[in-house]
Structure 1
Amino acid sequence: MPALDPILAHVVPFTLVVFRLAGLFVAAPLLMSVGVPARIKAMLAVTMALAVYPTVPASWHGMGEVGWAGLLGMVVGEAAVGLVMGVVASVPILCMDMAGVFGGQVMGLGLARVYNPEMDTESDVTGQLLFMLATGAFVVMGGLEWLFVSLARTFETLPPGGIALSSAPLAGLVGVIGSGCELAIRVTLPIVAVVTLLVLIFGAIGKTMPQINVMSVGFSVKVVGGLMALAASVVVIERVVGEEVVRVLRLVGSWAAGAVGVA
């Protein structure tokens, strides 16, 4: 029907906008949580697409006819844009979870595992604690808002069809993973130092006073000492996590502002 032609001309561009936003809900912090039902994520993606679509450049509206094969490739490319941005933003938070798991293993809390609803898997108590701390820092510093603003900016720098392999921030992702692993080591070093010192002390006590049951006493002391070291370094951990989150968000924003489109 001729009356529907102006509306049908917007179906393909709007679909691409929806999938670019939907990619963010797959890997971005908080948005990827299994606690948020998939239908709610889809509804939010469509609602945000309705708000963003009027601001996309005019080049998106003159795409012409697109076949099913071409549309499928463009949808995958669009979803990859949001997915890449979400993965990069999630690296510091996941590295904090890794730091907590390693610290828990050193303290002897490896068996005390609890369900982490954010990741839909089991995690150490200390891992979940640091994961929530990093997530809180991400939210307080406006990480979600920054991600959505950066993604909206990509509609000006990336044409329809999504991201090309040559324009993906692979070097930035490798750098973020490296700095995230360094962050995890810095966070766990106080715990490792305190627990190692306690092990040496109890080893010396066990040699000089064999009548003391070092194994039963040392286990609880290691846990208490490690938790005290973690509590004493929470302020420093919060600062370094905040700095890392800001650095990652700036990387995402700079890539979104200067992304190179597909040929």
Structure 2
Amino acid sequence: MEFLTLLTEHNTQGFLLLLLRFAGIFAFFPFFDSGLIPVGIRGALAFFMCLVFFPILPEQPLNYDVIHFLIAGTLELLFGFLTSLILQIVLSTLTFAGDSISFAMGLTIASAYDPATGSQKPIVGQVLSMLAILLALQTNFHHLIFSFIAQSLSQIPLGLFTPNQNLLESIVYNFSLLFSIGFAMAFPILGLILLSDILFGMIMKTHPQFNLLAIGFPVKIAIAIIAIIVIIPAIMNNFLTYLKSSFEILEKLF
């Protein structure tokens, strides 16, 4: 009987809008948007989180008609999409760095199927992305997301999200830093590979019988792999720093 008393129009609309907010989060946020997580699992997780967060919903009069409810639901999905862009940009910096390293190493052809995105990606980029996600989860990245959602419920009432100028400017600004930060992460390895190419070019000039494909190419790959092993702690540390900064940006914007 207590459950039946909760089935009012006000509570039903609030629960459905909260479900759409979680649906937008699990559809677009890093890790949760991975193809490795079945859609059914994400849907069940969104429903379960609604049950957990529903008791802390602030009092809000909800009496939408069908048209306004559809608009409110669309805004909730838009909320998840726009807020996820800032975090996706941070993860994309690693992908760009990994692709740049793979290109410099000559491993662009050595691509493998990425089940997370459903496309072919260079191996180095896949390794960096998967390691970044594991480190993010180890540092309670998912807890920060749920904390952000709890904060957003009090700051942005359900169905009343409106993209402001500060949010759009922050997305554009962070997107403009994607390539520069990604290049900075990959620069030590790219510089070492460039130096090895210069040395191999000098050797070929002095010793024309030097077979670059048979000797130089494997040596360059070996040098790059050793450099990646040495540099990867610094790359991951920078990634976690930028990830933390992105959550601070989200807290300021909302």
Where on the TM-score scale, by shorter chain, does this alignment land: which range? over 0.9
Match runs of 1:130-209 below 5 Å: 130-166=128-164, 169-209=167-207
Is 1:7 the counterpart of 2:7? The answer is: yes
Letter in structure 2 aligned against 1:160:
L
CA distance in 1, matches of 2:163, 2:92: 24
Question: Could you tell me how far 1:5 is from its partner in structure 2?
Answer: 7.5
Match runs of 1:1-263 below 5 Å: 7-9=7-9, 10-59=11-60, 62-64=61-63, 66-166=64-164, 169-256=167-254
CA distance in 2, matches of 1:168, 1:35: 33
CA distance in 2, matches of 1:82, 1:178: 21
Letter in structure 1 aligned against 2:7:
I
CA distance in 1, matches of 2:36, 2:73: 26
CA contact (8 A) 1:101 1:126 kept: yes
Cα gap change, 1:39 to 1:160, in 2 (>3 Å): same
Letter in structure 2 aligned against 1:149:
S
Cα gap change, 1:212 to 1:14, in 2 (>3 Å): same
CA contact (8 A) 1:77 1:163 kept: yes
CA distance in 2, matches of 1:105, 1:207: 24
Figure out how many residues of one structure are paired with residues of the other and give that number.
251
CA contact (8 A) 2:19 2:46 kept: yes
Task: Give the unaligned 5+ runs of structure 1.
Answer: 257-263
Percent of aligned pairs with the same residue? 23
CA distance in 1, matches of 2:116, 2:212: 38
Q: In structure 2, the residue corresponding to 1:165 is in which secondary structure? A: coil
Q: Indicate the residue corresponding to 1:261 in structure 2.
A: none
Question: Could you tell me how far 1:252 is from its partner in structure 2?
Answer: 1.6
CA contact (8 A) 1:115 1:121 kept: yes
CA contact (8 A) 1:198 1:222 kept: yes
CA distance in 1, matches of 2:16, 2:98: 40
Deviating beyond 4 angstroms after TM superposition, the runs of 4 or more aligned structure 1 residues are: 3-6
Question: Could you tell me how far 1:28 is from its partner in structure 2?
Answer: 1.1
Cα gap change, 1:113 to 1:162, in 2 (>3 Å): farther
CA contact (8 A) 2:15 2:54 kept: yes
CA distance in 2, matches of 1:14, 1:158: 15
Question: Could you tell me how far 1:218 is from its partner in structure 2?
Answer: 1.5
CA contact (8 A) 2:96 2:183 kept: no
CA distance in 2, matches of 1:137, 1:210: 47
Q: Indicate the residue corresponding to 1:260 in structure 2.
A: none
CA contact (8 A) 1:100 1:126 kept: yes
CA contact (8 A) 1:113 1:122 kept: yes
Q: In structure 2, the residue corresponding to 1:160 is in which secondary structure? A: coil
CA contact (8 A) 2:189 2:228 kept: yes
Question: Could you tell me how far 1:100 is from its partner in structure 2?
Answer: 0.3
Letter in structure 2 aligned against 1:26:
A
1:193-251 per-residue CA deviation (whole Å, 9 max, x = no partner) reads 11111111111111111112123211111111111111111121122111111101111
CA distance in 1, matches of 2:59, 2:8: 16
Question: Could you tell me how far 1:74 is from its partner in structure 2?
Answer: 0.5
Task: Give the unaligned 5+ runs of structure 2.
Answer: none
Question: Could you tell me how far 1:27 is from its partner in structure 2?
Answer: 1.4
CA RMSD across the alignment: 1.8
TM-score between both structures, scaled by the size of structure 2: 0.92
Q: In structure 2, the residue corresponding to 1:164 is in which secondary structure? A: coil
Answer with 155-164 or 96-105: which moved more. 155-164
CA contact (8 A) 1:85 1:147 kept: no
